[in-house]
């Protein structure tokens, strides 16, 4: 088998250290929360590697660790609190109880994807003596040093440091993950052992006092104990490469004096909506969340086959639906072939003869685990008319020993028969629906097709789809996409910005739970629409409460009616998951057809005429964005409320602008999954395009602002984490925006942001004489606006 080796940066044939045996270690979970589907992609990659070797007759010893100690997070260093301790306090349990609960959940999730369990799941808490022994060995060799109860690894004593990640010492930032400590010999040194703070729950005695191990030493100790000082394959995710795996190599090879691992294999990130999965971002989906939405967890496994393991793969629920549909087709075709074949021959243990189709399949699997092309071979074989049904299904089941879709288990279960049995569907719907379906069957039997069609339409309106078969009628819950506009991203909505205006105002509402707030907001708009031509554009952004059902009923009813009998156009979008706040806003803006767009928060209740003052405000062509609540700042850090009229930003409670300006100012950056600071960020685009942001104070008298439920539903830590993430996005884009501020406004020094060639293209043109030798650190001055410039230290690589 050939695989890409991160250590050598090339695809290599895996040559086992011991003939016929493979020793393999996989970095497992830190068990303080549920693993997410990105973790499962990495574990599935390791499973395919193991299955392939076992298919070829190798004896594989697979070790996958359980990290049940926890490690300090950068932002919690001052508190000395690690993830497991924090979660235990949050849930009112001991750290060991937390670890046990999430360990069992991890095993259950792997089983749902038919990931073969490792032969050994060592726990970090049970291997502290082995960790201490390695640390003592490193101290004896002078590679580590002790300071005040801490033991650090001196990376300058290990010449090979950086060979896995490519990081050079001179370019590294001190304190990566662990924080900077004045006691270190070098800022980049990492801890092997840490002293326990007062009252810490998880503590062990050591020669350096009571404490606990560092993050990286655990895997060195457990892999060496069970696989030896030199073994074949080590797997993990790309985020493990540095510092974790780089430090593992340094520790292990520093301790043993020999090569640690021959082949390092890493799975790339699974993105969600184009962004890295993270709990703080709200897009780290778990297996349970997938199941709650009606997906078979095995559809995830199929989804993972759609891209090479070391390529980024973007997860959307639409893509998962496509994978589930294709998996069902695969199962259906397998069952069809199974029913056409000799059952005993299909399930017999009789080995298959060598076959050119198997050669083609294995050639793709063993060529750097190319599962997309391997699946292409699967479908080609199944469609082949050269093979008898029994041969096709036997080949499929044989290859499934690698693929891991548990097709044999599926064929031998009751699931295929139930899929075609009308009665099994009737048991899953309300009895009244089942009764109507049976009555319709009688109508069809008496050839009263007109009345039968009427029943079909009535059930369709109630959310059920009927499928007539030779065995009877299958009744299925109607898919939302069959009835409503269902989207997976804002780009799924046709961009209407270039189309003519149909209404005066498009009010955009983003709904995510908080159904009562949404109802109040909608009713208040209808009550106070007056004689205006108003359009309501609403998106349900992955609600999990009764908001979804409410909006579905609203959408079925069509346009709304105002207090004066006037028509209020209604356009409802349904996201198949929480796309994030900015993506939801972009989706509704793309769909809007009003002359003016009003982004309104559902915490707002309209109590009077908001339309006239906004319309009058925009009679001034210099004004780009307006609303009742304004913000100003002196330093781009602290923003305070201001009555204006000129302000630095309009708050997102109610934010209005001309629709025709969208092509000029652009869409909102969809990294803003949380709402905080998004309004300021968006306001700045109007200002950098040459327009003013102004408040319309009279509107404050015609609305009521209720508490923002999302904000109050979060803990202080969650608020701080999400707000900090959004501030970083804002700061990265607008950190030189002082000239945009009301306090600094000077028409002669109007700045257009980073939108000039150097920053947009990421390129700088210099003559040969200006450039130093490759690899030499130097700087160039970058002038951003007339009274500000700065330098970026960097170096150039040699041309190739």
- Name the helix (H) or strand (E) containing 454: helix 449-461
Lowest mean pLDDT among 235-244, 435-444, 594-603, 748-757: 748-757
DSSP 534-565: EEEEEEEES--STHHHHHHHHHHT-SEE-TTS
pLDDT band at 84; cut points 50, 70, 90: low
709 alpha carbon, distance to own chain's centre: 24
pLDDT band at 787; cut points 50, 70, 90: very low
Q: What is the pLDDT of residue 757?
A: 33
Of how many residues is the chain composed? 800
> Could you tell me what percentage of the chain is helix, strand and coil, using 3-state DSSP and rounding each to the nearest 5?
40, 20, 35
Does pLDDT of 429 surpass 90? no
Contact in structure between 489 and 579 (CB atoms under 8 Å): yes
Contact in structure between 563 and 531 (CB atoms under 8 Å): no
Q: For the stretch 367-382, what's the b/e string if a residue is b when 16 or more beta carbons lie within 10 angstroms of its beta carbon?
A: ebbbbebbbebbeebb
List, as own/partner pairs, every contact residues 297-303 make where C-beta atoms lie below 8 angstroms and the sequence separation is at least 24, other chains included.
297/109, 297/112, 297/113, 298/112, 298/113, 298/114, 298/327, 298/405, 298/406, 299/323, 299/324, 299/327, 300/37, 300/40, 300/113, 301/44, 301/113, 301/114, 301/404, 301/405, 302/326, 302/327, 302/330, 302/405
First to last CA, the chain: 31
pLDDT in tens, 247-281: 999 999 999 999 999 999 999 999 998 888 877 77
Does pLDDT of 502 surpass 60? yes
pLDDT in tens, 289-338: 999 888 999 999 999 999 999 999 999 998 999 999 999 999 999 999 99
pLDDT in tens, 729-783: 999 999 888 888 998 866 555 544 443 333 333 344 555 555 555 555 555 554 4
Q: What is the pLDDT of residue 470?
A: 77
Token pair listed for 224: 């060496």
Q: How far apart are CA 677 and CA 670, in angstroms?
A: 13
Q: Show the CA angle centred on residue 531, arms to residues 526 and 534, nearest 5°.
A: 55
pLDDT in tens, 134-144: 999 999 999 99
Q: What is the pLDDT of residue 784?
A: 44
CB count, 10 Å around CB of 564? 10
List the alpha helices (DSSP H) in 113-261.
128-140, 217-227, 246-256
Give the position of tokens 């399930």.
347
DSSP one-letter code for 679: H
Lowest mean pLDDT among 287-296, 570-579, 784-793: 784-793
Does pLDDT of 234 surpass 90? yes
Q: What is the pLDDT of residue 524?
A: 97
Q: Which residues contact 392 (CB under 8 A, 6 or more apart)?
A: 337, 381, 382, 384
- Which domains does the chain carry? 17-267 (3.40.50.620), 287-418 (1.20.120.1910), 420-478 (no CATH), 485-730 (3.90.550.10), 757-794 (no CATH)
Q: For the stretch 614-642, what's the b/e string if a residue is b when 16 or more beta carbons lie within 10 angstroms of its beta carbon?
A: beebbeeeebbbbbbbbbbbeebeebeeb
Q: What is the pLDDT of residue 431?
A: 84
DSSP 631-671: EEESSSS-EEEE--SEESEE-TTEEEEEGGGHHHH-PPPTT
Q: Which residues contact 87 (CB under 8 A, 6 or more apart)?
A: 32, 33, 98
Contact in structure between 509 and 602 (CB atoms under 8 Å): yes
Does pLDDT of 39 surpass 70? yes
Contact in structure between 690 and 753 (CB atoms under 8 Å): no
Q: What is the pLDDT of residue 189?
A: 94
The residue among 569 and 464 whose pLDDT is bigger is 569
Token pair listed for 101: 């609960």
List, as own/partner pairs, every contact residues 779-782 make where C-beta atoms lie below 8 angstroms and the sequence separation is at least 24, other chains included.
782/758
Give the position of tokens 């297996």.
287
- Name the helix (H) or strand (E) containing 422: helix 422-426
Q: How far apart are CA 212 and CA 216, in angstroms?
A: 12
Burial of 605 (0-12, 13-18, 19+ CB in 10 A): middle
Lowest mean pLDDT among 98-112, 388-402, 451-465, 566-580: 451-465
Q: What is the pLDDT of residue 171?
A: 58
Give the position of tokens 């000029």.
664
The residue among 477 and 688 whose pLDDT is bigger is 688
- Name the helix (H) or strand (E) containing 728: helix 716-734
Contact in structure between 338 and 411 (CB atoms under 8 Å): yes
Does pLDDT of 159 surpass 60? yes
Q: Show the CA angle centred on residue 209, arms to residues 203 and 211, nearest 5°.
A: 25
Q: How far apart are CA 245 and CA 249, in angstroms?
A: 6
DSSP one-letter code for 576: S
pLDDT band at 499; cut points 50, 70, 90: very high
Helices (H) and strands (E) in the chain, counts: 29, 32
Token pair listed for 307: 């891209």
Lowest mean pLDDT among 429-433, 541-545, 758-762: 758-762
Q: What percent of the chain has pLDDT over 70?
A: 88
Burial of 147 (0-12, 13-18, 19+ CB in 10 A): middle
């Amino acid at each position: 088998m050939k695989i890409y080796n991160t250590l050598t940066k090339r695809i290599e044939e895996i040559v086992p250290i011991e003939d016929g045996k493979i020793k393999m270690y996989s970095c497992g979970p830190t068990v303080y929360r549920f693993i997410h589907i990105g973790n499962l992609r990495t574990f599935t990659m390791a499973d395919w590697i193991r299955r392939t070797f076992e298919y070829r007759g190798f004896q594989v010893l697979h070790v996958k660790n359980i990290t049940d100690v926890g490690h300090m997070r950068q932002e919690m260093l001052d508190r000395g609190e690690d993830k497991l301790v924090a979660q235990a306090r949050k849930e009112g349990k001991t750290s060991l109880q937390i670890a046990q609960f999430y360990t069992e959940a991890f095993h259950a999730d792997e089983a749902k994807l038919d990931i073969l369990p490792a032969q050994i799941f060592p726990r970090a808490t049970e291997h502290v003596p082995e960790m201490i022994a390695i640390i003592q060995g490193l101290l004896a060799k002078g590679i580590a040093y002790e300071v005040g109860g801490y033991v650090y690894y001196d990376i300058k004593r290990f010449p090979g440091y950086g060979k896995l990640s490519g990081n050079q010492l001179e370019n590294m930032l001190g304190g990566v993950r662990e924080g900077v400590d004045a006691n270190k010999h070098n800022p980049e040194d990492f801890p092997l052992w840490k002293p326990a703070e007062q009252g810490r729950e998880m503590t062990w005695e050591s020669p350096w006092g009571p404490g606990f191990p560092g993050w990286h030493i655990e895997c060195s100790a457990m892999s060496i104990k069970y696989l030896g000082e030199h073994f074949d394959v080590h797997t993990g995710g790309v985020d493990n490469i540095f510092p974790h795996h780089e430090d593992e190599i340094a520790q292990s090879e520093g301790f043993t004096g020999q090569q640690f691992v021959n082949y390092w294999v890493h799975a790339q990130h699974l993105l969600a909506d184009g962004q890295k999965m993270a709990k703080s971002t709200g897009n780290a989906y778990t297996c349970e969340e997938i199941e709650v939405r009606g997906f078979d967890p095995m559809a995830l496994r199929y989804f993972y086959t759609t891209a090479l393991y070391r390529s980024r793969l973007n997860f959307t629920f639409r893509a998962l639906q496509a994978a589930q549909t294709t998996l069902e087709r695969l199962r259906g075709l397998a069952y069809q072939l199974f029913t056409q074949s000799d059952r005993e021959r299909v399930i017999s243990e009789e080995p298959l003869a060598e076959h050119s189709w198997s050669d083609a399949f294995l050639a793709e699997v063993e060529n750097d685990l190319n599962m997309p092309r391997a699946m292409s071979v699967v479908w080609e074989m199944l469609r082949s008319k050269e093979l008898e049904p029994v041969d096709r299904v036997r080949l499929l089941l044989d290859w499934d020993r690698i693929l891991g879709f548990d097709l044999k288990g599926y064929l031998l279960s009751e699931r295929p028969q139930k899929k075609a049995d009308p009665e099994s569907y009737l048991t899953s719907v309300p009895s009244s629906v089942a009764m109507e379906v049976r009555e319709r069957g009688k109508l069809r039997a008496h050839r009263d097709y007109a009345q039968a069609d009427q029943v079909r339409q009535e059930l369709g309106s109630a959310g059920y789809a009927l499928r007539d078969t030779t065995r009877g009628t299958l009744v299925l819950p109607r898919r939302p996409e069959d009835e409503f506009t269902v989207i997976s991203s804002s780009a799924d909505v046709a961009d209407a910005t270039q189309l003519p205006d149909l209404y005066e105002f498009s009010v955009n509402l983003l709904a995510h739970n908080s159904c009562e707030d949404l109802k109040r907001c909608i009713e208040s708009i209808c009550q106070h629409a007056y004689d205006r031509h108003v359009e309501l554009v609403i998106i349900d952004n992955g609600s999990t409460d009764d908001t979804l059902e409410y909006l579905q009923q609203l959408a079925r009813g069509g346009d709304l009616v105002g207090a004066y009998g006037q028509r209020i156009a209604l356009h409802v979008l349904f996201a198949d998951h929480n796309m994030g706040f900015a993506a939801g806003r972009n989706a509704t803006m793309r769909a809007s057809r009003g002359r003016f767009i009003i982004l309104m928060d559902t915490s707002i209740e309209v109590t009077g005429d908001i339309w006239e003052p906004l319309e009058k405000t925009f009679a001034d062509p210099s004004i780009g964005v307006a609303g009742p609540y304004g913000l100003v700042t002196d330093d781009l850090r602290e923003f305070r409320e201001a009555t204006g009229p000129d302000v630095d930003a309009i708050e997102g409670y109610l934010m209005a602008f001309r629709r025709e300006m969208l092509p000029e100012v652009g869409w909102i950056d969809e990294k803003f999954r949380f709402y905080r600071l998004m309004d300021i960020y968006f306001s700045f685009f109007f200002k950098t395009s040459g327009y003013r942001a102004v408040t319309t104070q009279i509107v404050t008298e015609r609305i009521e602002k209720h508490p923002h439920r999302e904000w109050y539903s979060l803990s202080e830590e969650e608020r701080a984490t999400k707000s900090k993430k959004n501030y970083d996005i804002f700061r990265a884009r607008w950190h030189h925006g002082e000239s945009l501020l009301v306090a600094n406004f000077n028409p002669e020094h109007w700045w257009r942001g980073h939108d000039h060639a150097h920053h947009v293209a990421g390129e700088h043109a210099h003559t040969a004489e200006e450039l130093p030798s490759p690899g030499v650190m130097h700087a160039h001055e970058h002038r951003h606006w007339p009274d500000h410039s700065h330098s970026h230290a960097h170096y150039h690589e040699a041309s190739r």
